[in-house]
Amino acid sequence: MKLQTEVLIVGGGATGVGIARDLSLRGIPSLLIEKGDLLSGASGRNHGLFHSGGRYAVSDREAARECIAENRILRRIAPHCIEETDGLFLCLSEDGIEFRDRFLRACEEVEIPAIPLSRDETLSLEPELNPDLLSAVKVPDGAVDPFKLVLENARDAGTHGAEFLLHTEVKSLILDGNRVAGAMAIDLLHGEEYSIDASYLINATGAWANQFLKFAGLEISMALSKGSMLVTNQRLNQRVINRCRPPSDGDIIVPNETVSILGTTSIRSEEVENFEVTPSEVSLLVKEATKMIPAVRESRFIRAYAGIRPLFQSEEKGEDRAISRGFVLIDHGKRDGLKNLITITGGKLVTYRLMAEKASDLICQKMGIEVAGSTHLTPLPRIVGRLGLKDRLKKIGPSVSIDGREILCDCELIEREEVENILREGKLKDLQDILHRARLAKGTCQGGFCVYRLLGVLNDLKRVEGDPNRILEGFLEERWKGIRPVLWGTAIKEEELSESIYKGIFNLTPTHPSPLEGKG
Amino acid sequence: MPSALYRPHGFAVNGYSMNKEPWSNKNADVCIRCATCMAICPVSRVTPLFPGPKQAGPGAERFRRPDDPPVDQWIDLCIGCHLCDMVCSSGVNISELNLIAKTKYLDEKGRPFRDWILSQIHLFSWFGSLFSHVANRLLRSPIIKWMLDSLFSIDRRRELPLYQSPTFRQWFRGNPTKGNRKIAYFYGCYTNTNEVDVGKATVQVLEANDFEVFLPPQRCCGIPMLSNGDFEGARRLGLWNIPPLLHTIRSGSDIVFSSTSCGHMIKHEYSHLLSIPGAEEVAKHLFDIFDFLRNLKENDGLNTKFKALSLKTAYFAPCHLRSLGIGLPAFEILRLIPGLQVDPIDADCCGLGGTFGFKKEKYEISQEIGKDLAEAIDGLKPEIVLSDCEGCRMQIRHLTGLKVLHPIQILRDALIFSKTE
Amino acid sequence: MHYDIIIIGMGLSGLMAAKTAVEMGKKVLIVGKGVGSLSLFSNTIDVLGSISNKMTLIDILSQWIKDHPKHPYAKVGLREMDQALSSFTSLFPPPYSFQTIGDGNWLIPTGVGTLRPTYLIPSTMVPGSSLKEGNGLIIGFKGFKDFYASWVAQQLKCRGFTLSLRDVFRQEITATALSRLIEKKGFRERMGREIRKHLKAETCVGLPALLGMNDPCSAKKDLEELIGAQVFEIPVLPPSIPGMRMFNRFKIWLIQRGVTFLLGYSVSKAILEKRRCEGIEVLHPPISTSYSSDRYILATGRFIGGGLKANEEKIFEPIFNLPVFQPKSREEWFQKSFLSDSPHPIHQAGILTDPSFRAVDEKGEWILENVWIAGSILSHHHWVDEKSREGIEITTGYMAAKQALKYEARGAGHAV
């Protein structure tokens, strides 16, 4: 099939989707292609921390300023994607007070509101903290739901004319002399091939930047760094908890709805796709977090996950290329002589909008038009408001009825109706797509019960492509990756239960003759 | 293992300051969602209005935050039978989580006046007993019941407990016992004013085992208040009750109780849930009457000079008895009586739940739960039904119309005494 | 209080041990923190499922025992296995009886439409084994979210239909609530008539395993008359109603015979002296009650029941602190793939015993001379992959009790 657009965006993470929205608000048509589902990369595998910038205040003033500015903007335009929890930077006795004072001064310099608190004040706000702390500093950190944020961006972009092709992978670039003119792509689920004509192409593939640039015979100086996170079963803290010391591994605990997330590590990786959380990372995260919240040691973990960050090297940060210390925007026309191709990579989730704005500005410059961006002013429309925990709790009890209001996920209280809405909305191909959007399988049992129910419901709605048993197997294997690193204590009981259900009661992968062959 | 608790009106626990809920409900954390509790919960079996222990307890706990107002209006449908706790192999004390959530909910939304009435019955009891003829006529009167129903939502279909005169205390004063050892008896308010023969039988059996019985100063144990989410009120009663009981045991006497609900309250909830000083020490010397008799039997000290009783009975184990963790001592002792047929009833909860089944919005749930018990009894066709809890006895009478007694009354009858009135 | 034998654990192995001891006239205490796997599994009795249906079970078991000398079955022996299983089935007289199909395994339908091999099934599941392409109708209920008729039907190449009984229940309905409704004649009639309307030429109708907690056979018979086809149960997600039936039957039987039945309490401490256990303590705050006996059976199950616990480094047994046979490190506990062909090494972990079911150390000597180990807590079996769970529980429960009751304490240190 032949397709045509102005700007072809490759990569469905926060950056790519942010660009699609920004361009769409400027009236510039775009098509975004992504080989998996939205947020397949680092955008969907991060800590969910809505930075105030405090973490960079001392070491990188520029980055900190960017963070706090974007923090303010996002609070205005996307309040329903953010939980304004505030954050605390703890000084434990081993940290001393000296760094805290530098921290306070640095925050003041970059205009991050930072309030010092005494030990007693801190403990009365968060009684679960290590009583051995000296003091803390309160900053406007928060918790963000990256899925909601990016999906809302995508939805709004779509309303304004942007197009999306998910599960579609670029196979080669279409070149016209020294100019990029489009790309050849293939739908990975159905095999359909696309030939896409585009005036400009944006490489927003994040950690896959170099893999993509191979199609153009180019390379940027980049490394990969793995960061791992652990998810607790219950929410241990109300505010984001940081360590008030030079940034290091394992020193942040982010609350996220019903759980807390411990993070993170940074380990050089060669692999962009096959990676796992290692036992030593698990031990490190538990150890460091326990120093801040002693209850972590005895806490139950439901899942571990990791993401790959792209780390670009300093050669890329020349004055005419680097817009900021935090991220990199490369115009390959200037750098490599291949016109109409730009790469944008790096950055934090919190600065996605700024990155998208800069990329879109560059595109407008190339197009020779002067349309200013408006994403810093235009709020994301609130299609589905953010449900607080207590509102979700209201879903059980007398209001439950068989007309769609059945609860599919007991742990996270997700209703059948929510799933049906999601199905109605998009062309979803994959079980994981639905799980991401419905937020199923994120709770205590990690889908042990609800995915069976979900598949049953999908089957009833005739939305299952293929054999539901095989899909269930695929889901269980995927789930296993997240569970295996934390299998001890209560998690092992949960595992025994899932094995007994799927291998025992259901005999999902039978080793005996199939139903159609002879019986006993 | 005591969990961190919410204290209504904020008094300090474990060093945490008032009005602040410490965030370490470790027990809810160990739930593996196996749904075994769902298999046994009597309430979720009969009504969809209660989401069941798995959801109401550890499930909802993940959503409850200390600063949010409570929204779980279905939480007071938990009948407090503790059956979920007993079958949970992970050790989640679900009914406790539910009770605390219920307390928080009622604190916020306000308690109906009716709940206050139902939990303060002991205040009217002496009055009811004194004027028992009049009181009973009123309690039976359809007009009064209609009024109670319309004004206070106390369901008119429920038979209200009738008063007896003289009270147990009055009877006891006129009938002192003799024996070589002393023992104290916590009789409970219901025995005192509504089912005096249970008290009499307990005393008579103890005397037949060579005990001199005395009654330490005592008030309502407070369980109606606790189960209605009034921790404060229950605690006040506990603080009153424990010192005389402590004095009793320190003087060398054990204490027995005949009401399993009172017993469970004092023996376990006073220390564990209400942190009443001295309660732990008292608990070690406080026994269910049949547990006490069983211990006597172990040491060959039980009077087993039973006469034959040719009766076909069925025995129902109350929820609070099961929660005591002593097995079924009444059943074990009754089997020693020659000629007596005792069949254990295969049912879990009678459905009354103390004050639960009196409430208009819960009456039908209570009855529906009770239906299963009634069917089980019907299958056995007993002449008399036996149960150690006054609530269960009331409910079984209400459901089946059969004669229902405390097992101690049968035991007394077998020990060559006057028949039950 | 003193007992002839104390059984710790109220799953199938503990209950069988209690039954065995009661039948030998002993005074029994059984204490357990839950109902074991009975509420969680499908509660048909698996003896050895992972074998083809072409051989008889006896032959297979003989070979198995030869090939796996450390397996619990090897310690029980064929003859005793047979006796143990008979003892179990005798507890369930008709109409709700457990049946075998000749000498091999049944193949019964599951909630994902596969077939599962198993040795003993209750009479309410029997017609499911004759399900063939086209002869079955699978029925689900709208509002009961743990069973999906069309999924099961598709896999089994039959028809499926979901009943929507809005006039009876408009909300979600739990397994126990639906099971209770099915026990009511009025609902059954409604249900039966609805199903009949949708029945075509099918000869058997499959329902989720909810035919009532108390009298499933009457429900089955009624429905068969109303529908005009055979009716069978299909096991679903926990909680398992058939499992609770089993538990209730054991409970009432044991209580009727004077067993002290302490459901809901765990043993907080074992009082050990030299190589003997002298008593146990059961903690129910604030009271700790002691019980003593000359014989103890540890039948506390695996991780779900708390019989085995795991911290970040190792697996341990919390009551008697018996050494646990286990892989060298946590990394080796589980395979990288969940549904891998080779079983997860952690399943083999457990308490190593000698043929008399007493725990032994590396030298093969008894650690405690009066404690016998029964059930899934034993080492050297992979119950999930072997499909041998209930068989191990029943036979080792039976044998451990028999072994224990041979023991007469003749002063400290002397043991039979």
pLDDT digits (tens, 9 = 90+) for C15-49: 999 999 999 999 999 999 888 889 998 889 999 98
Q: Which residue in chain B is spatially nearest to A391 when comparing CA positions?
A: B71
Q: What residues in C contact A512, CB-CB < 8 Å?
A: 49-50, 52-53, 107, 115, 117
Q: What residues in A contact B51, CB-CB < 8 Å?
A: 396-397, 400
Q: Which residue in chain A is spatially nearest to B19 when comparing CA positions?
A: A124
- 255-294 in chain C: CB under 8 A from chain A: none
Cβ neighbours of C342 (radius 10 Å):
9
Give the per-residue pLDDT at A381.
Answer: 84
Give the per-residue pLDDT at A416.
Answer: 80
Q: Look up the CATH number of the domain holding residue B186.
A: 1.20.1050.140
Nearest in space to B99 (alpha carbons), one of B273, B287, B235? B273
Least reliable range by pLDDT among A63-77, A128-142, A506-520, B227-241:
A506-520
Nearest-angstrom CA–CA distance, B38 and C240 = 10
Domain termination residue (choose one: B152, B176, B207): B152
Q: What residues in A contact C177, CB-CB < 8 Å?
A: none
Give the per-residue pLDDT at B380.
Answer: 95
Q: Answer for the pair B333, B293: CB distance below 8 angstroms, yes or no.
A: yes
Residues A201-229 as b or e (16 or more Cβ within 10 Å = b): bbbbbbbbbbebbebbebebebebbbbbb
Share of chain A above pLDDT 70, in %: 92
CB proximity B331 to C under 8 Å: yes
Kindly indicate whether the domain formed by C2-12+27-94+244-260+291-406 is annotated with CATH number 3.50.50.60. Answer: yes
Tokens of B363: 């009456």
Non-local (6+) Cβ contacts of A384 within 8 A are A80
Minimal CA separation from B388 to chain A, in Å: 33
Give the per-residue pLDDT at A448.
Answer: 84
The answer to whether residues B43 and B82 belong to one domain is yes
Predicted confidence band at C170 (pLDDT cuts at 50, 70, 90)? Answer: confident
Interchain pair B49, A396: CB under 8 A = no
Q: Look up the CATH number of the domain holding residue B56.
A: 1.10.1060.10
The answer to whether residues B82 and B139 belong to one domain is no
Give the per-residue pLDDT at A255.
Answer: 94
Nearest-angstrom CA–CA distance, B289 and B399 = 27
Predicted confidence band at A6 (pLDDT cuts at 50, 70, 90)? Answer: very high
C22: part of which helix (H) or strand (E)?
helix C12-23
Answer yes or no: pTM beyond 0.80.
yes
Interchain pair B28, A392: CB under 8 A = no
Nearest in space to B92 (alpha carbons), one of B84, B100, B103? B84
Q: What residues in B contact A124, CB-CB < 8 Å?
A: 17, 20
CB proximity C171 to A under 8 Å: yes
User: Using alpha carbons only, what angle is made at residue C303 by residues C241 and B33, rounded to the nearest 5 degrees?
Assistant: 50
Average pLDDT, chain C: 91
CB proximity C41 to A under 8 Å: yes
Give the per-residue pLDDT at C166.
Answer: 77
The answer to whether residues B95 and B125 belong to one domain is no
DSSP B398: H
Q: Answer for the pair A179, A339: CB distance below 8 angstroms, yes or no.
A: yes
The answer to whether residues B257 and B196 belong to one domain is yes
Nearest in space to A84 (alpha carbons), one of A61, A107, A108, A113? A113
Greatest Cα-to-Cα distance within chain C, rounded to the nearest angstrom: 72
Q: Which of A507-511, B28-32, C209-213 has the highest mean pLDDT?
A: C209-213
Interchain pair B46, C1: CB under 8 A = no
CB proximity B4 to A under 8 Å: no
Nearest-angstrom CA–CA distance, A313 and A342 = 17
CB proximity A8 to C under 8 Å: no
The answer to whether residues B91 and B47 belong to one domain is yes
Nearest in space to C356 (alpha carbons), one of C290, C416, C413? C416
Give the per-residue pLDDT at B66.
Answer: 74
In chain C, ranges of CATH 3.50.50.60 domains: 2-12+27-94+244-260+291-406
Nearest-angstrom CA–CA distance, C276 and C279 = 9
Tell whether the model's pLDDT for residue A493 goes beyond 60.
yes
> pLDDT tens-digit profile of A309-357?
888 766 544 443 344 557 889 999 999 999 999 999 888 899 999 999 9
DSSP C359: B
Give the per-residue pLDDT at B26.
Answer: 52
Interchain pair B272, C266: CB under 8 A = no
Give the per-residue pLDDT at A322.
Answer: 40
Query: How many CA within 13 A on the CB side of residue C301?
Result: 26
Q: Answer for the pair C352, C314: CB distance below 8 angstroms, yes or no.
A: no
The answer to whether residues B332 and B370 belong to one domain is yes
Minimal CA separation from C129 to chain B, in Å: 27
Minimal CA separation from C289 to chain A, in Å: 27
| Residue listed under structure tokens 């017993």 | B263
DSSP C37: G
Give the per-residue pLDDT at A427.
Answer: 59
Average pLDDT, chain B: 87
Interchain pair C338, A459: CB under 8 A = no
Across the range A177-186, mean pLDDT stands at 94
Tell whether the model's pLDDT for residue C416 goes beyond 60.
no
| Residue listed under structure tokens 């003193």 | C2
DSSP B30: T
Interface contacts (A, B; CB < 8 Å): 97
Least reliable range by pLDDT among A110-119, B86-95, B293-302, C230-239:
B86-95
Q: Look up the CATH number of the domain holding residue B379.
A: 3.40.50.10700
Across the range C6-23, mean pLDDT stands at 96
In C142-262, which residue ranges form alpha helices assigned H by DSSP?
A: 149-156, 175-182, 185-198, 216-227, 241-256
Give the per-residue pLDDT at B419.
Answer: 46
Residue in C35, C180, C264 nearest the CB of B322: C264
Minimal CA separation from B233 to chain A, in Å: 28
3-state helix, strand, coil in chain A (%, to 5): 40, 25, 40
Predicted confidence band at A512 (pLDDT cuts at 50, 70, 90)? Answer: very low
Non-local (6+) Cβ contacts of C292 within 8 A are C1, C2, C3, C6, C278, C279, C280
The answer to whether residues B268 and B333 belong to one domain is no
Q: Which residue in chain B is spatially nearest to C171 when comparing CA positions?
A: B48
Tell whether the model's pLDDT for residue B238 goes beyond 70.
yes
Non-local (6+) Cβ contacts of C202 within 8 A are C134, C135, C136, C137, C158, C159, C229
Minimal CA separation from A39 to chain C, in Å: 24
In chain C, ranges of CATH 3.40.50 domains: 111-234
C255: left (phi over 0), alpha (psi -120 to 50) or beta: alpha
First to last CA, chain B: 44
Q: What residues in B contact C303, CB-CB < 8 Å?
A: none
Range of the domain at B176: 168-298
Residue in A258, A388, A490 nearest the CB of B30: A490
The answer to whether residues B229 and B336 belong to one domain is no
Tokens of C29: 């205490």
Residue in A238, A298, A497 nearest the CB of B32: A497
Q: What residues in B contact C284, CB-CB < 8 Å?
A: 268, 324-325
CB proximity A271 to B under 8 Å: no
Neighbours of chain C (3+ CB pairs under 8 A): A, B
Mutate to test the interface with B, among C176, C180, C251 (most CBs of B within 10 A): C176
Share of chain A above pLDDT 90, in %: 55
Nearest-angstrom CA–CA distance, A312 and A326 = 10
The answer to whether residues B231 and B285 belong to one domain is yes
The answer to whether residues B289 and B180 belong to one domain is yes
Least reliable range by pLDDT among A90-99, A443-452, B381-390, C193-202:
A443-452
CB proximity C104 to A under 8 Å: yes
Across the range A466-480, mean pLDDT stands at 90
Residue B19: inside a domain, yes or no?
no
Residue B194: inside a domain, yes or no?
yes
CB proximity A393 to B under 8 Å: yes
Residue in B32, B59, B68 nearest the CB of A410: B59
Nearest in space to A111 (alpha carbons), one of A159, A62, A184, A166? A62
CB proximity A397 to B under 8 Å: yes
Residue in A407, A488, A501 nearest the CB of C330: A488
Interchain pair A506, C114: CB under 8 A = yes
Across the range C136-146, mean pLDDT stands at 92
> pLDDT tens-digit profile of A237-285?
999 999 999 888 999 999 988 899 998 998 888 888 888 899 999 999 9
Nearest-angstrom CA–CA distance, A413 and A390 = 11
Nearest-angstrom CA–CA distance, A255 and A238 = 6
Minimal CA separation from C410 to chain B, in Å: 22
Tell whether the model's pLDDT for residue A29 goes beyond 90.
yes
Predicted confidence band at A154 (pLDDT cuts at 50, 70, 90)? Answer: very high
Q: CATH assignment of C111-234, given 2.40.50, 3.40.50, 2.60.40, 3.30.160?
A: 3.40.50
Mutate to test the interface with A, among B6, B13, B24, B54 (most CBs of A within 10 A): B24
Mutate to test the interface with A, among B44, B50, B63 (most CBs of A within 10 A): B63
Residue B159: inside a domain, yes or no?
no
Average pLDDT, chain A: 87
Predicted confidence band at B384 (pLDDT cuts at 50, 70, 90)? Answer: very high
Predicted confidence band at A415 (pLDDT cuts at 50, 70, 90)? Answer: confident
> pLDDT tens-digit profile of A114-126?
999 999 999 999 9
Q: Answer for the pair B35, B25: CB distance below 8 angstroms, yes or no.
A: no
Number of domains chain B is built from = 4
Residue in B48, B63, B72 nearest the CB of A258: B63
Give the per-residue pLDDT at B417.
Answer: 60
The answer to whether residues B194 and B291 belong to one domain is yes
Across the range B366-381, mean pLDDT stands at 95
